[in-house]
Structure 1
Amino acid sequence: MKDALTQALASPDNPGQEPAIKVLMVDDQMMVCEAVRRMLADEPDISFHAINDPSKAIETAMEIKPTVILQDLVMPDIDGLTLVKFFRAKPETKEVPMIVLSSKEEPETKKKAFELGANDYMVKLPDKLEVIARIRYHSKGYLNLLQRQQAEAALKAELDEAARYVRSLFPDPMEDATVKTDWVFISSSDLAGDTFGYHYLDDEHFAIYLLDVTGHGVGAALHSVSAINVMRAQSLPGVDFKDPGAVLAGLNEAFDMDKHNQMYFTLWYGVYHLPTRTLKFSSGGHPPSVLITDPTNPQGSLQTLATPGMVIGGMPDAPFTTDSTEVPAGSKLYVFSDGVYEVNYADGNGMMTEEEFAEGLCLPAEEGKTKVAGMVDWVRRAQGQDAFEDDFSLMEIIFK
């Protein structure tokens, strides 16, 4: 079965196709309907449908899918203004242009008709040229609307598919003899600029990383996918992926913003060495990660892990350093983007800071929730709303 747009855009130039413009006239006076039919008889791109029983108007409109509706305001059994309201209440007809017909100019009636959703008002019956001009004008606008809606639906479908692909790159939560991982990700738009991951480099090294591309949308998502795939595949020539500073330097060279549409990203990258329980890390313009080494005294054992470094792609040959720390058994590492804490407090008391978010990480997990899920609710309560203005990405790594 043809959809509304396919039918509406059909042209008389194409044999077997229906006319582009479809007029549905609702008027109990057959003579008026016949008069309009004759006005339109010589217009090959306009088809005319009339109905004298207003109780069947909605049903008929659903069947023929008009591009404009002409409707009388004075009919037996049903008030014309009520019928306008019924047309606007139906999803299938709420956008179809409506031209109401009246026997005389009545400002109050005209006002009510427009308030209920009518698009035009004619005193019947005006000159043939005026009738045709108004029908063409309103139908053209409606056909353009259908085209835009179809294009938007196609674009949304493509964006949804792209978003599913981006999400497919996220790692599954995992647990083995060395680590237990969990994460939460909430995109602020159809396509996000945040992405993250973790994987074993070999039997002794476990890599952890999170990056945040400037901006949102398709460009940011493509940039983040390119970068994360490089890290997953370890495809930077001559770079030792067990050396965090070297990884950031290699990415900075490979993703020079002058060669990537002025796009850059922040990054935190760490490598955990199992035999020595040492975590090496480096960061470029990214928020410090939080390491809690004693779960029984989280505030007293909290460490922030970051190194000085510019955003990735911001400046050629920018230096990146590597730092390290010991990781006692039971330690918890939290890696996140700035979208988790750059929120305005609902009470108007400024914006949450990194330190305040870190304090939230030290709180016990809410009953019945994982720690990362509980942090989402904790931030939502702080800002007084569910939606986030930036991507919310938070990873938890528990070292056994």
Structure 2
Amino acid sequence: MPDKYRNTKKPLILIVDDVVRNLQIIGNHLIETGYDISLAMTGEQALTTAKLIKPDLILLDIMMPNMDGYEVCRQLKQMPETADVPVVFLTAKNDIDDILKGFAVGGTDYITKPFHKQEIKARIKSQIELKRSRDELKSIADEINLLNNKLNTELSIAAEYFRSLLPEKIDNKSISTYWHYVPTQKLGGDAFGYFMLDEENFVFYLFDVCGHGIASGLYSVSLLNILRFRNLPNTDFRQPKDVFSSLNKIFQTTEHHGMYFTIWYGVYNIPKRELNYSAAGHHPSVLFKSDDSFCKLNEGNFIIGGMDEYNFKQETLKIEPESELFVFSDGTFEILTSDGTQWTINDLIHFLDTRKDKKASELNNLHKYILGMYGETIQKDDFTILKIVFH
């Protein structure tokens, strides 16, 4: 155990006995052994002194006038200042019932009279070491709790910052956007965004970084800011394959501790009603047309950073008025239900097809439905889904 947690002060022992001779004998022996001592001759004095000095150990005589040792011990254990202080009873009684009564009120050991120096030394040493070990462990636990609280506070701030990076919802004559995002932890690996690249082209994307927690969250923030601020030199953001090629150079898994991400990226040209799209390691998105038919949109590229050189491909699709596109992470469908059934992307598509409406209430309802499938209120993966309506 690190030295900073060790208590190097001499142990302080409170001796409580109504017989002066006993106080002298035990006190002198403990001083010779290397302990500091404090004395009390009554139960009342013992309670006051113990609360004030907070000793490492209390040697407590059972047979005392007015307040016996059992009652003193009972009250010591009720006071926060002394509840953790070990109490060793001093007793002339060898009756098992008396000994058990001492343990019942909170005693940790007993020493019988007449005293034997070696026995006193051994029992006190054992109790002091146990007390010091408990104190050291408590100090470590307190420091861990303090660090955890600090970390949780910082994570909450980071999560608020991450939330601030997510886009506002859009509702205009050309496009409406809706989304629902719930990470498993304060920081998740999922993220998404959209923006007007110019007067004609609307860019949107959703990516899923492997893993969960701080590492994935920091990776996700880095990637999100690169895309938000178009910080990819010599890249045509109207072309998904160009964006993927640039990202592939930056985010090689061998240079990022094996971390990787999947991504779906689309560019909608509003006047032409054309969607250029591609996916890298990501599952299909789903486009519902105005006649309620649907199609899966995917281009089976490899994950970003998996290969040094990769020829990414993309597709172009005409978009009919009032078509609805759903882009989502795997946390919306890769679900093992409480009864052992595996939910699939086709189950997700059926859910959206039968429940979608103009207010996009299906997004929130989907999350509730998934929690119900888990059989608990704790989700197993980040939940992210983006709905885009092309008017």
Q: What TM-score comes out, normalization by structure 1 length?
A: 0.75
Corresponding position: 1:123 with 2:119: no
After TM superposition, list the pairs within 5 Å mapping 1:147-162 onto structure 2.
147-162=143-158
Identify if the C-alpha distance between structure 1 residues 73 and 224 changes in structure 2 by more than 3 Å, giving closer, same or farther: farther
Match of 1:223, SS state, is: helix
Identify if the C-alpha distance between structure 1 residues 135 and 345 changes in structure 2 by more than 3 Å, giving closer, same or farther: closer
In structure 1, the residue matched to 2:226 is 230
CA distance in 2, matches of 1:286, 1:111: 68
Indicate if the aligned counterparts of 1:9 and 1:20 stay in contact, CA closer than 8 A: no
Deviation by residue 1:315-336 (Cα, 9 ceiling, x = unmatched) = 1112211112222222221111
Deviation at 1:363, TM superposition (A): 2.0
Counterpart AA for 2:377: D
In structure 2, the residue matched to 1:389 is 380
After TM superposition, list the pairs within 5 Å mapping 1:39-58 onto structure 2.
52=43
- Indicate the larger mover: 96-105 or 234-243: 96-105
CA distance in 2, matches of 1:375, 1:367: 15
CA distance in 2, matches of 1:152, 1:385: 25
State how many pairs are aligned: 367
CA distance in 1, matches of 2:379, 2:81: 35
Deviation at 1:176, TM superposition (A): 2.3
CA distance in 2, matches of 1:223, 1:196: 13
CA distance in 2, matches of 1:339, 1:142: 39
In structure 1, the residue matched to 2:117 is none
CA distance in 1, matches of 2:226, 2:185: 24
Root-mean-square deviation (CA, aligned residues, Å) is: 4.4
CA distance in 2, matches of 1:369, 1:77: 71
Instruction: Specify which of 137, 140, 143 is matched with residue 141 of structure 1.
Output: 137
In structure 1, the residue matched to 2:169 is 173
In structure 1, the residue matched to 2:323 is 331
- Indicate the larger mover: 183-192 or 269-278: 183-192
Match of 1:377, SS state, is: helix
Deviation by residue 1:179-232 (Cα, 9 ceiling, x = unmatched) = 222211111123211111111111111111111111122221121111111111
Instruction: Specify which of 353, 359, 363 is matched with residue 362 of structure 1.
Output: 353
Identify if the C-alpha distance between structure 1 residues 176 and 85 changes in structure 2 by more than 3 Å, giving closer, same or farther: farther
Corresponding position: 1:346 with 2:335: no
Unaligned runs of 5+ residues in structure 1 are 1-7, 13-18
Indicate if the aligned counterparts of 1:40 and 1:132 stay in contact, CA closer than 8 A: no
In structure 2, the residue matched to 1:196 is 192
After TM superposition, list the pairs within 5 Å mapping 1:90-109 onto structure 2.
97=84, 99-102=86-89
Deviation at 1:10, TM superposition (A): 11
Deviation by residue 1:249-275 (Cα, 9 ceiling, x = unmatched) = 211111111122221100000111100
Match of 1:144, SS state, is: helix
Q: Which has the larger radius of gyration?
A: 2
Deviation at 1:367, TM superposition (A): 12
Indicate if the aligned counterparts of 1:68 and 1:138 stay in contact, CA closer than 8 A: no
Match of 1:207, SS state, is: strand
Indicate if the aligned counterparts of 2:85 and 2:131 stay in contact, CA closer than 8 A: no
Counterpart AA for 2:108: Y
